[in-house]
Amino acid sequence: MCLFLTIGNWGDNLPVNERQPHPHRKGHRKLAACVASPERQAFGATASGYSGDSAGVHASQASSVAQFWNRVYVGPSYSVYVSDRVAVGASLHGVGTITNSTWSVDTLLYDAAGNGSASSYSTAMSAYSVELEAVLGMVWHIDDKQTLGLSVSTPSLHLFGHYAGTASVQSVDGTGRATLTTASGGYQAPLPIRVGAGLGAEVGRGQVEADVNAYVPVTYLARADVQASQTAITGGAASLTSPAQTLTVSGRPVVDAGVGFETFLSPGFSLLFGARTDLSAVEPLLASPPIGSLEQARMQRVAGSLGLGSYGDGSELLFGTELSYGWGKSIAVDSFVSPPTLAVVQQRTFGAMLIIAGGVSLTSVKRTLRDLQNVVKLPQIK
């Protein structure tokens, strides 16, 4: 969500039908305040049970898994036309990253002779990181029908962050083993450098846009430097260690692309179509991830969208849906080995997202309130 303010006497804050003609753009300025959450992923499977037989062995399992990742951008933007066709601008973002996960998997195995074994795998992690990032951009009106946009972000500056995690792994198979680990320390989630380019053009009664974004990780995508306290019991004997650990998520460059088309059926009504890719900048997952791994999944996605657009009185409303397909790998618990470990499994996803977007001018809001005032006798609006 963004709030835009025109600086100076330019009438761009007015509805389109009330603006005065302005043959020159040079010197026109905009200030904006925005908050956005463009990166969010959540997965939950609570109280899932399984029971089955194979090769004379019966297995019973109870599991609960919850994973969450969210990144929020907050900050101001400023732009100015340095000529009638070229505008430059900059944004300063405070970026907050929040992630947490919980795993609880308990498994019992026994055969017809009454021989059995049991295992338990429980982990929990919570982390946050705050970074500062700047974005520089330029818009060039090539002619009256074509517009080019360019942007580049700076390396992010880490401000502060924290990580806390616990892990409990137990197995009962004749001898019995149990390990309990607690860990805490610093956490960082630096942003990759992003270089973007977009081209928009009016074509007949419609307009088309194409965008390309390249993401280049400067170092890693996430890192936790923690001090752990680990207690292990094997065959009744206990041991205590305090290892220092560094957990990282490595990244690699990736390029995403998108294209959109809007055709106007009338001056105030349009149809919209689009397609995009969402490739992962995370390096391929390890075949045997360590306990406490920061990665949760590595997914690639393609998506297509369609919608309707409505325009009038200085406002616009876009309504539609996006359908997506994702493929990749995610981390799961292999509780049929002793002790239980993490493993990598194939994952497929199908998604449907409702989209509601638009813009409204403050002048049109005031006019609506005045019209409402005449009907229900609200207090005078000045």
DSSP notation for 177-189 = EEEEEEEEEEEE-
Closest CA to 230 of 186, 187, 177, 188: 177
The token duo for 200 is: 């928009």
Q: How many alpha carbons fall within 13 Å on the CB side of residue 345?
A: 9
Name beta bridge partners: 317: 310, 358
Calpha distance 25→83 (Å, rounded): 7
Alpha helices in the chain (DSSP H): 362-376
What confidence score (pLDDT) does residue 375 get?
A: 62
Whether 128 contacts 159, CB under 8 Å = no
What confidence score (pLDDT) does residue 379 get?
A: 57
Residue whose pair of structure tokens reads 């303010």 in the numeric block: 5
Name beta bridge partners: 89: 79, 137
The sign of the CA dihedral 11, 13, 14, 16 is positive
Whether 307 contacts 275, CB under 8 Å = no
Whether 95 contacts 75, CB under 8 Å = no
Q: Count Cβ atoms within 10 A of the Cβ of residue 194 and give its class: 0-12 exposed, 13-18 middle, 19 or more buried.
A: middle
Whether 281 contacts 217, CB under 8 Å = yes
The token duo for 82 is: 């340095």
Closest CA to 101 of 47, 164, 158: 164
Residue whose pair of structure tokens reads 């990749």 in the numeric block: 328
**DSSP character at residue 219:** S
Check: CATH 2.40.160 for 2-376?
A: yes
Distances (CA, A) of 113 to 100, 110, 116, 220: 42, 8, 9, 51
What H or E segment, with its residue span, contains residue 96? strand 86-111
Name beta bridge partners: 180: 168, 231
Residue whose pair of structure tokens reads 């409402």 in the numeric block: 372
Would you say how long the chain is, in residues? Answer: 382
Q: What is the pLDDT of residues 112-168, one digit of tens each?
A: 888 888 889 999 999 999 999 999 999 999 998 999 999 999 999 999 999 999 999
Whether 131 contacts 75, CB under 8 Å = no
For the chain, list residues with pLDDT below 50.
10-11, 13, 15-17
CB environment 148-182: b (16+ within 10 A), e (fewer): ebebebeebebeebebbbbbbbbbeeeeebbbebe
Q: What are phi and psi of 190, to 5 degrees?
A: -65, 150
- Please tell me whether the overall predicted TM-score, pTM, comes out greater than 0.85 for this model: no
Where are the domains positioned within the chain?
Answer: 2-376
Calpha distance 343→103 (Å, rounded): 13
What confidence score (pLDDT) does residue 16 get?
A: 46
Whether 199 contacts 147, CB under 8 Å = yes
Alpha-carbon radius of gyration of the chain: 27
Calpha distance 269→308 (Å, rounded): 7
Q: Please confirm whether the linkage preceding 289 is cis (ω < 30° from 0).
A: no
Calpha distance 277→301 (Å, rounded): 6
